[in-house]
Homo-oligomer: A and B are copies of this chain.
Amino acid sequence: MQTCATQGATRDSNFEFHISGFMSEYQNLKSKLPDHITQGDVKKILAAILSENAPWDWFTRARIPFPFAVRILRELQDAGYLAFANDKTQLTPRGQTLAHELHATAEPNMTCPRCAGSGADWGALQNIFERYVEIYNARPRNENPEFDQGAMTPESLFRRLALMIHMGDLQGARVVNLGDDDLASVAIGLTGLAQSVTVLEIDERIAAYIQAVAQKYNLPLTVRHQDLTQPLPSNLLGAFDTFVCDPPETEQGLLLFVEKGLALLRAGDAHAGYFGATVMEASLAKWARWQKQLLNKHEIAFTHILPPFTEYAPWPDEKPLTDIPALATLAGRPWYRFAFYRLETLPAFQPAADFETELSQVFYFDYEGYYEAWKA
């Protein structure tokens, strides 16, 4: 039997090569990365580079926190694993060795081009879509970054809408939107399917705009000014069939929005909650904490976790990464994406207890967030 010292390359349980008297490319890179960045993260960003020609699409394919991806890209660039020439980023021979070590290969994009991976077809909603786009284009701009706002593309919203209709969650339903900078309430109202739509919105300008649209088009919409860190109006608790929201990207931010949503749903089974969840500003460890808390504290099941078909439109304070040539100019098109969850209440469901909390940065910022990529 050979001893370790005389063996050639062997592997530990996570693919790392230990070669006697020699540091593997991954070990070399790893020594420069912080502990919270894993081998899996490095493999994912390498595979994304091998898979996607458009650099801003690397982040969707990698599905790791944006600042982690940027940190890895910087190390790959500084240590000579990546080269940028003729407007194209490629792995150097060292980069190829690293990719080979980690089994990172090209992953062809197999997303359905018709539905963008949503599984839902909104073709039947074309007329409503056109009316919605007019309203969307006339919305108040210059979003207030203090409230973490951006807007998804109208196509993304209509993919969501198609799923909600398919599942029967709008028909005859009392729907509540927690935050609505995407004007989802208007799209739902325009379908004519919901019994009522209630919008809880903190931004006065958006609230006023939705109110004006509702009046003009005679939509069954009610808009209330609401800071979600504060108690909800007691007459709304346990009063809805369906909630819809796009929470902030932090652990506390998502739970604040979704648990307020669960406080608004009626008791009993077959009520639905929909929410977006970033694949770019949340690690899967954060996803797991969200999933556990929601399942353990509430009588619900997840029925859908869909691929990241939801795209943000370019937003006002989007920033280029000037030190990474491939990302030194903005994408100029949507690239930030999030997944879409549907949960459903079980027979034993009771509306969640309402609560108040202090509005604080923890709802909007953590070390997995977008802006971290520009910190030293």
With A107-B168, A124-B108, A166-B109 known as contacts, the answer to whether A238 contacts B268 (CB < 8 A) is no
Closest chain B CB from A18 CB (angstroms): 15
Asked if A347 is at the interface of the complex by the 8 Å CB criterion, the answer is yes
> In the complex, which residues of chain B have a beta carbon less than 8 angstroms from the beta carbon of A309?
119
> In the complex, which residues of chain B have a beta carbon less than 8 angstroms from the beta carbon of A15?
266
Closest chain B CB from A304 CB (angstroms): 5
> In the complex, which residues of chain B have a beta carbon less than 8 angstroms from the beta carbon of A238?
13
Q: Report whether A168 and B47 are in contact in the complex, using a CB–CB cutoff of 8 Å.
A: yes
A111 to B166 alpha-carbon distance, docked (Å): 7
Interface size class of A (residues with CB under 8 A): 35 or more
> In the complex, which residues of chain B have a beta carbon less than 8 angstroms from the beta carbon of A109?
166
Q: Report whether B302 and A165 are in contact in the complex, using a CB–CB cutoff of 8 Å.
A: no
A14 to B265 alpha-carbon distance, docked (Å): 10
Type the 1/0 row for A107-140, where 1 means its CB is closer than 8 Å to any CB of B.
Answer: 1111111111111111010000000000000000
Q: Report whether B168 and A105 are in contact in the complex, using a CB–CB cutoff of 8 Å.
A: yes
Type the 1/0 row for A155-199, where 1 means its CB is closer than 8 Å to any CB of B.
Answer: 000000011011110011100000000000000000000010000
Q: Report whether A14 and B268 are in contact in the complex, using a CB–CB cutoff of 8 Å.
A: yes
Closest chain B CB from A306 CB (angstroms): 7
A309 to B306 alpha-carbon distance, docked (Å): 13
A67 to B170 alpha-carbon distance, docked (Å): 27
A113 to B15 alpha-carbon distance, docked (Å): 40
Q: Report whether B304 and A307 are in contact in the complex, using a CB–CB cutoff of 8 Å.
A: yes
| Identical copies in the complex | 2
Q: Report whether A301 and B291 are in contact in the complex, using a CB–CB cutoff of 8 Å.
A: yes
Asked if A288 is at the interface of the complex by the 8 Å CB criterion, the answer is yes
Q: Report whether A114 and B115 are in contact in the complex, using a CB–CB cutoff of 8 Å.
A: yes
Per a CB cutoff under 8 Å, which of B105, B118, B268, B291 touches A13? B268
> In the complex, which residues of chain B have a beta carbon less than 8 angstroms from the beta carbon of A292?
292, 295-296
Closest B residue by C-beta to A267: B13
A168 to B102 alpha-carbon distance, docked (Å): 12
Per a CB cutoff under 8 Å, which of B162, B171, B299 touches A110? B162
> In the complex, which residues of chain B have a beta carbon less than 8 angstroms from the beta carbon of A267?
13-14
> In the complex, which residues of chain B have a beta carbon less than 8 angstroms from the beta carbon of A195?
103
Q: Report whether A38 and B270 are in contact in the complex, using a CB–CB cutoff of 8 Å.
A: yes
> In the complex, which residues of chain B have a beta carbon less than 8 angstroms from the beta carbon of A302?
287, 291, 302, 305
Asked if A43 is at the interface of the complex by the 8 Å CB criterion, the answer is yes
7 closest A-B pairs by CB: A40-B270, A103-B172, A112-B115, A117-B119, A288-B301, A14-B268, A110-B166
Supplied contacts A284-B344, A285-B301, 8 more A-B pairs, CB within 8 Å: A38-B268, A38-B347, A44-B168, A103-B172, A107-B167, A112-B112, A112-B114, A302-B302
